[in-house]
Structure 1
Amino acid sequence: MLDVRRLQVLRAVVTSGSVTAAAAHLGYTPSAISQQVAVLEKEVGIALLERVGRGVRPTEAGRLLTRHTEIISRDIAEAEATLADLRAGRTGRLAIRYFTSVGPTLVAPAVTRLRREHPGVRIDLSLLETEDPLTQVERGEADVSIVVGPRDNRRRGLRLVHLLDDEYLVALPAGHPLAAPPVLDLADLAAEPWVASEPPGPCLDLTLQACAAAGFSPNFTARSEDYATALGFVAAGLGVALVPRLAAQDRRDGVVLRRVRHPEPVRYIYAAVREGTPAQGPLGTLLQALEEAASRQPAPHTAPCVP
């Protein structure tokens, strides 16, 4: 493989017209320049320069290499400029995966700040797929995934940034007999018809585990895969549902929200990135913005429920 530095020395000699002039421009001795050219000629197996009076001129091979060196030098300069922009967060791509209920509350304000501070970064923003969302980060298909996990969530090769503890509330039809008290024991809902508010996955598992801890299995008489539909079913009187507070912010008419206890179901929300990912640049800005957005959400058991 040809040494780029020797090619640039050759280009300097050809451009300057002499070894002495090239040495002066590059800050080397003439003998050092001659040695570099000699090594390059040995590598390519053909003469690159020929003497003309007190100067030199390129052979056909020398002209060929000089033309290609110009292209290589230009490409290197462009690459260095691009890398500098990438390091500074002026360009690049950031793939973000998220689930629906954190979209308006966490992702939207975070991406707004990201666009403002790093306008040259292309943002690939899409909902999580049904497969393990952490796998997408591990494989490099996503730079960050916002996920739900247990309190002490750890995974080799990943860094999990805790964002928010999101408590579950029970959604009841307006006028329901159990809607009067501000807090309900989860066991009080054992005999009620239930609406499944999530597809199979960690959030639905949390509902099932909470009900099991309260001594019953919910009788699902209606199923949905999104909270808006589930709340619509509750408003229609089809049953009750557990809904995380973030998802309940767009509560519809005909639904009341109450806290539950014994147990108090909470989902823990994290931003997952690859271990060793630099904390600065666009990704660092995004993580800071997500944490700021999360800090503006009410802590569990402090926000009022909606009558």
Structure 2
Amino acid sequence: MLDVRRMQVLRAVVVSGSVTAAATHLGYTPSAVSQQVAALEKEAGIALLERAGRGVRPTAAGRLLTEHAAVIGRHLAEAETALADLRAGRTGRLTIRYFASVGPTMLAPALARLRDQYPGVIVDPRLSEPGDPQAEVERGQADLAIVVRRPSDDVRPGVRVLHLHDDTYRAVLPTAHPLAAHEAIHLSDLAGEPWVGSEPPGPCLEPIIDACAAAGFTPDFVARSEDYTTAQGFVAAGLGVSLIPRLGLATRHPGVVIRPVRHPEPVRAVYAAARESSLTQPVVRALIDALTDAPRS
């Protein structure tokens, strides 16, 4: 196999017309240049240079390799430029996985800011499929995933999780409910109420169950919906009360009132999950900063 670096040495000799001039241009000694050309001739199995007065000129094989060396040199320069652009965040593609309620509230303004900072980067945000989106990050199918997780949850190999936001839950009540006139609701005041479930089993439901347990009761779910808009509709119809995270209340039903919850206040933790190697990329760091700074609903 031909050595690309030796081909560039040959090209310097041919362009300059002598070994000495090529050595000066490359910063080598003339003997080092001669050794590189001799090694390339051995690899090629044919003479590449011949004497011409006090200098040298290429043979037919030497001209052929010099032409290819010029093409390779241009491609290498283009590759170095493209790599520098990618490293600096001027180009590239960023694939993001996110869950629904974070899309309009945190992700949208963060992506708008990222577009202003890195207009040459193609951003591909997609809703997470059921399961753990960190698996896609681990496999390299996504650069970053926005997830809700518990402190005790395992972190996949090669993936780092960074805290973005603590999303507090709010009490959602029918407008005619006796507690609707209160500025804030003690969670224990909802102990005897029928409940509308707003979360599937997992890290978004557990803060509700744990907070109710701390307040001394277990919620009685009479209706369940994993869609916040539908859950609000059930509450407005008088089926029960609910707890919904603030990020899930960007769109509010006119038939409900929303109040802060106290003693205790349920909270779910929102994180960004990214590969350790991706965190060295400026565009990934910029997105995490933008998500951290994004306005909340």
> Normalization by structure 1: what TM-score?
0.86
Residue in structure 2 matched with residue 43 of structure 1 by the alignment = 43
Residue in structure 2 matched with residue 58 of structure 1 by the alignment = 58
Per-residue CA distance 1:283-303 (angstroms, 9 max, x = gap): 12111111212xx448xxxxx
List gaps (5 residues or longer) in structure 1. 299-307
Residue in structure 2 matched with residue 26 of structure 1 by the alignment = 26
Q: Matches of 1:88 and 1:238 in 2, distance apart?
A: 54
List gaps (5 residues or longer) in structure 2. none
Q: Considering only aligned residues, what root-mean-square deviation do their CA atoms show, in Å?
A: 2.4
Q: CA deviation at 1:276?
A: 5.0
Q: Bigger shift: 179-188 or 83-92?
A: 179-188
Q: Bigger shift: 148-157 or 172-181?
A: 148-157
Q: Is the 8 A contact 1:153 1:160 kept in 2?
A: no
Residue in structure 1 matched with residue 228 of structure 2 by the alignment = 227
How many residue pairs are counted as aligned between the two chains?
296
Residue in structure 1 matched with residue 89 of structure 2 by the alignment = 89
Q: Matches of 1:50 and 1:28 in 2, distance apart?
A: 21
Residue in structure 2 matched with residue 118 of structure 1 by the alignment = 118
**Percentage identity across paired residues of the two chains:** 65
Per-residue CA distance 1:177-236 (angstroms, 9 max, x = gap): 332333333343344332222334321233333334444443333332221221122222
Q: Matches of 2:25 and 2:137 in 1, distance apart?
A: 49
Residue in structure 1 matched with residue 106 of structure 2 by the alignment = 106
Per-residue CA distance 1:59-115 (angstroms, 9 max, x = gap): 333233222212211111011001111121101111222212222221111111110
Q: Matches of 1:160 and 1:166 in 2, distance apart?
A: 16
* Equivalent residues in 2 for 1:97-246, closer than 5 Å: 97-151=97-151, 155=155, 157-246=158-247
| Structure 2 SS opposite 1:66 | helix
Q: Is the 8 A contact 2:199 2:205 kept in 1?
A: yes
Q: Is the 8 A contact 1:190 1:218 kept in 2?
A: yes
Residue in structure 1 matched with residue 78 of structure 2 by the alignment = 78
| Structure 2 SS opposite 1:285 | helix
Q: Is the 8 A contact 1:199 1:226 kept in 2?
A: no
Cα distance change on mapping 1:211 and 1:286 into 2, 3 Å? same
Residue in structure 2 matched with residue 8 of structure 1 by the alignment = 8
Q: CA deviation at 1:154?
A: 6.4
| Structure 2 SS opposite 1:287 | helix
Which amino acid is the alignment partner of residue 170 of structure 1?
A: A
Q: Matches of 2:104 and 2:244 in 1, distance apart?
A: 16
Residue in structure 1 matched with residue 256 of structure 2 by the alignment = 255
| Structure 1 SS opposite 2:204 | helix
Which amino acid is the alignment partner of residue 126 of structure 2?
A: S
| Structure 2 SS opposite 1:202 | coil
Q: Matches of 1:19 and 1:176 in 2, distance apart?
A: 93
